[in-house]
């Protein structure tokens, strides 16, 4: 059945976005700019905003985060999050410490971030105060069911949660193991200036169904040969590549899908585009009972559409203008993939016609126990090749794998 319960552990910030022609104006200058935007942000909140603004079968969402509801930035976040009826916010805010004196202490303020975005080049630079989110304790999570999903996003901003992974008794690690064995998990690590931070997440990767990260983050985690690295770790790794779209790496297979970005007239601000991608991708993925090639393609198309649309807005949580953008995303199937869906009684076959060409064919064949060999022969032609694939498929069927 489709997912009914989503648990999100994620960061929240208030973004103060400033559009300027020059990211480094000279000292003492006074630059005239458009109005400064103050808006809710952070990977966790950005993701949930786009996810919950879309039609979904998910009936309940728990959101574990941390902000101070009594300071000005916290009031902005509280007002935004209260719009969503299906959202249950579990705020670890150290609420017993709210005197004016203690609120002046750095660690008790709501996280906020100044985003300078260039109106001429669309480049950005950030000035971030993490505040309370840095001290979020690993939260207690309800036991998973077969119709639940765990999404961990903005991990690099949640220092206490991240550093808890040093311990083999980490509650986050145990939670990931539990959800992975029962249902599914996803992880969006986000950027960190400290390379050693990326090493800490390695313990989570074997229990991650979907790792979603930028190409720079992928290199920080897996090195320049990250395709080989992720082919041995996560079930599926989705690499976002900005204007160059995205790709999917499947465990033991390598890259299986590549997608273009959606067409948009111009980029205004790419802040939060990765979070919008994650929302669009998981919206489609969590709708399906089976993880198959078509489901992944739909996820990529939706994700690239959401991510591209986000770039047309100033700020990360504005409404997305998806019409025409999602439809412009093109997906290419890479290499050879053979998948059996026993529930639908179909074989999904993808193969290269010629290794020197980039064109591929995608075909779906219906089968029964007596026409499986014929079905494969129609696709592959060669008896030797047919024999190899038939043996592999029959072995998968005998083991009960999809």
Q: Is the pLDDT of residue 2 over 80?
A: no
CB 134 within 8 A of CB 111: yes
Average pLDDT estimate for 19-37: 87
At 131 the pLDDT is 93
Question: Is the domain covering 5-24+33-334 a CATH 3.40.1190.20 domain?
Answer: yes
Q: How confident is the model at residue 100 (pLDDT cuts 50, 70, 90)?
A: very low
Alpha helical stretches, state H, 112-265: 159-163, 171-182, 195-200, 215-222, 226-230
Q: Indicate the average pLDDT of the chain.
A: 83
**Cα-based distances in Å from 164 to 24, 195, 198:** 37, 17, 13
Residue 321 tokens read as 């203008």
What is the arithmetic mean of pLDDT over 349-371?
A: 43
Give the other-Cβ count within 10 Å of 93's Cβ: 18
How many CB atoms within 10 Å of residue 27? 5
- Asked if pLDDT for residue 98 goes beyond 80, the answer is no
Asked if residue 379 has pLDDT above 60, the reply is no
Residue 160 class from Cβ within 10 Å (0-12 exposed, 13-18 middle, 19+ buried)?
middle
| Residue 345 confidence (pLDDT) above 80 | no
| Helix H or strand E segment including 294 | helix 293-310
- Give me the residue label for tokens 């083999």: 168
- The structural domains of the chain, with segments of one domain joined by +, span 5-24+33-334, 341-398
Q: How far is CA 111 from the centre of its chain?
A: 21
- When mean pLDDT is compared across 94-98, 259-263, 357-361, the lowest value belongs to 357-361
**Residue 361 pLDDT:** 42
* Sign of the CA dihedral running 132, 135, 140, 144: positive
Which residues contact residue 348 at a Cβ distance below 8 angstroms, ignoring those fewer than 6 apart?
292, 293, 294, 337, 338, 339, 340, 341, 362, 363, 364
Say what the pLDDT of residue 279 is.
96
Model pTM score: 0.81
Higher pLDDT, 91 or 365: 91
Coil, strand or helix at 66: coil
User: What confidence tier does 393 reach under pLDDT thresholds 50, 70, 90?
Assistant: low
| DSSP characters over 235-292 | SEEEEE-GGG-EEEEETTTEEEEEEPPPP-S--S--TTHHHHHHHHHHHHHTT-SS--
Q: Is the pLDDT of residue 199 over 70?
A: yes
Q: What is the pLDDT of residues 145-164, one digit of tens each?
A: 888 999 999 999 999 999 99
């Amino acid at each position: 059945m489709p997912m009914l319960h989503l648990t999100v552990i994620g960061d929240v910030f208030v973004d103060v976005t400033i559009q300027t022609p020059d990211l480094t104006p000279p000292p003492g200058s006074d630059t005239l700019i458009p109005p400064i935007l103050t808006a809710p942000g952070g990977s966790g909140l950005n993701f949930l905003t786009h996810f919950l603004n879309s039609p979904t079968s998910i009936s309940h969402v728990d959101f574990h985060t941390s902000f101070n509801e009594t300071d000005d930035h916290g009031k902005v976040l509280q007002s935004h999050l209260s719009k969503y009826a299906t959202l249950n916010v579990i705020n670890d805010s150290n609420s017993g410490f709210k005197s004016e004196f203690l609120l002046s202490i750095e660690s008790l303020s709501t996280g906020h971030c100044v985003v300078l975005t260039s109106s001429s080049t669309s480049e950005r630079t950030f000035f971030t105060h993490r505040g309370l989110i840095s001290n979020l304790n690993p939260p207690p999570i309800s036991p998973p069911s077969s119709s639940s999903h765990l999404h961990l996003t903005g991990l690099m901003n949640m220092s206490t949660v991240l550093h808890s992974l040093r311990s083999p008794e980490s509650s986050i690690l145990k939670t990931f193991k539990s959800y992975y064995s029962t249902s599914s998990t996803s992880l969006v690590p986000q950027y960190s200036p400290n390379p050693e931070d990326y090493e800490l997440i390695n313990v989570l990767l074997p229990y991650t169904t979907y790792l979603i990260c930028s190409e720079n983050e992928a290199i920080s985690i897996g090195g320049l040969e990250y395709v080989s690295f992720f082919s041995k770790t996560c079930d599926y790794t989705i690499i976002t590549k900005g204007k160059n779209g995205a790709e999917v790496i499947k465990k033991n297979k390598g890259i299986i899908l590549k997608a273009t970005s959606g067409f948009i007239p111009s980029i205004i601000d790419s802040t939060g585009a990765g979070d919008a991608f994650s929302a669009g991708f998981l919206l489609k993925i969590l709708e399906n009972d089976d993880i198959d090639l078509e489901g992944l393609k739909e996820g990529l198309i939706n994700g690239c559409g959401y991510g591209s649309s986000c770039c047309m807005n100033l700020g990360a949580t504005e409404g997305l203008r998806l019409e025409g953008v999602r439809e412009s995303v093109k997906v290419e199937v890479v290499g050879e993939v053979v998948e059996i869906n026993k529930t639908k009684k179909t074989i999904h076959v993808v193969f290269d016609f010629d290794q020197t060409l980039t064109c591929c064919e995608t075909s779906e064949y219906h089968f029964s126990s007596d026409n499986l060999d014929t079905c494969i022969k129609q696709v592959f032609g060669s008896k030797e090749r047919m024999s190899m694939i038939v043996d592999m498929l029959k072995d998968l069927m005998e083991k009960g794998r999809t």
